A and B are shown apart, each in its own frame.
Chain A
Amino acid sequence: MKLRRHTTPWALSAPAMLLFGCLLLVPLGLTAVLSFNVFDYTTGVKNEFTLAHYLAVLGDEYYYGIFWRTFWISGLTTLICLAVGAPEAYVLSRMGNPWRSIFLLVVLAPLLVSVVVRAFGWSMLLGPQGVVNHALQVLGLGPVRILYTEWAVVIALVHVMLPFMVIPVWTSLQKLDAGVENAALSLSASHFTTLRRIVLPQVLPGILSGSLIVFGLSASAFAIPGLLGGRRLKMVATVVYDEYLHELNWPLGAALALILLVANLLVMLSYNRVLEGRYKKSLG
């Protein structure tokens, strides 16, 4: 009886563990090893090891440019999502049903549509003959080149990432005791002060969580820069694709992919640290 109790959870988790071990941990390990392999343009991957790829990636100006572009696009996307998503979540939380549920669904449902479709939709809207340019021409402003610039990528990323900001902020708002806001107002606080000093501090964990998720996902985005950035505008993910499928320099691609992975993990997991530190004490 006692023995059974200790082995049962492992027995139940075994199939998933087997799958994840073979198709997650092993491949990542292989890729880590691959990133140190030597690559020869004529013969391919050789079984010798070198740090050359990491040195190239972390030392070459070309890659600096890629990293910088990826960083500022992700940062800008995060800021816009913050400026739009957090207020939107707040506005929605103050609506009554049925509108609240309907609008929430409209904002979140695009998550379930493939990113290819959404990216293509934006390429149509932002193209030289697209809806946006048509509208601008009607207003008398000349046609603007949006597609295949960083701005197209940012706009489409915001569209895809907005739900990831709305959800944690919405969840934080739901946890708020509705009476707290009223209590502040009854004590003669202005609406703005109530927002700033009562609502915002409690929603901050949600905002933080959303920001980190959006940043991490934007930095590793592939389909959107691929379809809206064009051949010249590369982000980390599209460079990895080039290395693997065009240059066939798998070790270099692997090095880039691992750097992306580590950066992502650091960003996503730093949330736990911050939350544990600052907020656990005051929020319980």
Chain B
Amino acid sequence: MSFLTLSDVSKLYGANCVVSHLSLSVAKGEFVSLLGPSGCGKTTTLQMIAGFTEVSSGRILLDGKDITDTKPNSRGLGIVFQSYALFPHMTVFDNVSFGLEMRRVSRAERIDRVNRALALVHLGELADRYPRELSGGQRQRVALARALVIEPAVLLLDEPLSNLDAKLREEMQFELRQIQRKVGTTTIMVTHDQTEAMSISDRVVVMQAGRVTQIDAPFKLYEQPQTRFISTFVGKANLLTGRVALAGALARVDLGAITVEVDGAGLSEGAEAVLSLRPEKISFVPPGQGQLDGVVTARFFLGSQWLYHVATALGELQVACPNGDVLPPEEQSRTGLAWDANSLRVLS
């Protein structure tokens, strides 16, 4: 049973279609991310759910009720804005209790709930500070506490981590997920950072030019991207193009230098095929012992892994191998590349 449903929602600015026929069902307690590059319509979608932007067509239902025409101050949603939007003239405590004041909650109960919300985000001692006295990470937590204290039906996060530096961002990602699991609020997050979306969401909605291109759990999205765009946007991929030489349940694709066998569903003979091969699925073997040979043109050390650029007959391929015990090849050395047949993904 869907808790939040977007049904064929579109947004047009004049002739410009910013969001096109978007349909999405979010289950209660689920953490869903809207992922895509700038301009794909993800923020507009969030604004429509929040009620700050009018829907051009389609409906939005929350727990069975149609909220498409409800005013933003009656929807009961919790929102964390990209700039956090803390009230600069109020203390942390007053910021968090604002929503409860609007709901006419008694003073005693307000104090109790605010303190619990601040404890949830580990900011209990900073209740009397003003936003300008807080660091970026602290402000973000206050914004989160302010949104959660009202026990909203849905929590909306608009690029909540984009203003934080890399290390802090990583920490906050996991903390965000922990808090969400603890409280159990249905959450929708907008982000352009695919690692962020993948690491903490139950499902990821990939958007491009106002349309939804794929909705899947992170692992499935990564392993089975449906389009060229998704395979290179979510993680890295080597794209190999060729022609279908033999169609069937197990089809044969001619890539020029080599021929490979892939899952033949949907492939017709003579058609062009694009295959995706993830860098970490390729391993180094002695020359001649793998499917392909090549020369290492460059390598980069990224700490936990090595990233290689290898010149082959199929073009330059990216290969990633973990920083383990085996010493990886040097630059300018000849090497063989091997991969499992199932690692090749057919893209539409």
Contact = CB atoms under 8 A, between A and B. Distances in A.
Contacts of B54: 1-2
B11 to A, nearest CB: 15
Contacts of A1: 54, 69, 71
Interface string A220-263: 00000000000000000000000000000000000000000000
Interface string A1-35: 11000000000000000000000000000000000
A126 B154 CA distance: 76
Interface in B3-62: 54
Nearest to B69: A1
Nearest to A2: B54
Nearest to A5: B54
Contacts of A2: 54
Interface of B is mostly: loop
A1 B70 CA distance: 10
A208 B171 CA distance: 54
B157 to A, nearest CB: 26
A17 to B, nearest CB: 28
Interface string B66-97: 00010100000000000000000000000000
Interface string B220-259: 0000000000000000000000000000000000000000
Contacts of B69: 1
A130 B273 CA distance: 96
Contacts of B71: 1
A119 to B, nearest CB: 43
B276 to A, nearest CB: 42
A2 B69 CA distance: 11
A2 B54 CA distance: 10
A1 B69 CA distance: 9
A153 to B, nearest CB: 49
A203 B162 CA distance: 37
A55 B71 CA distance: 63
A3 to B, nearest CB: 13
A214 to B, nearest CB: 39
A73 B71 CA distance: 61
A1 to B, nearest CB: 8
Interface string B326-337: 000000000000
A1 B68 CA distance: 13
B60 to A, nearest CB: 15
B303 to A, nearest CB: 34
B66 to A, nearest CB: 15
Interface string B173-200: 0000000000000000000000000000
B73 to A, nearest CB: 12
Nearest to B71: A1
A166 to B, nearest CB: 32
A1 B53 CA distance: 12
A1 B195 CA distance: 40
A219 B69 CA distance: 58
A2 B55 CA distance: 12
A268 B193 CA distance: 50
A118 to B, nearest CB: 39
A139 B69 CA distance: 85
A278 to B, nearest CB: 33
A145 B273 CA distance: 97
A1 B74 CA distance: 14
A232 to B, nearest CB: 59
B84 to A, nearest CB: 27
Interface string A170-207: 00000000000000000000000000000000000000
Interface of B: 54, 69, 71
4 contacts: A1-B54, A1-B69, A1-B71, A2-B54
What 4 pairs between A and B have smallest CB-CB spacing? A1-B71, A1-B69, A1-B54, A2-B54
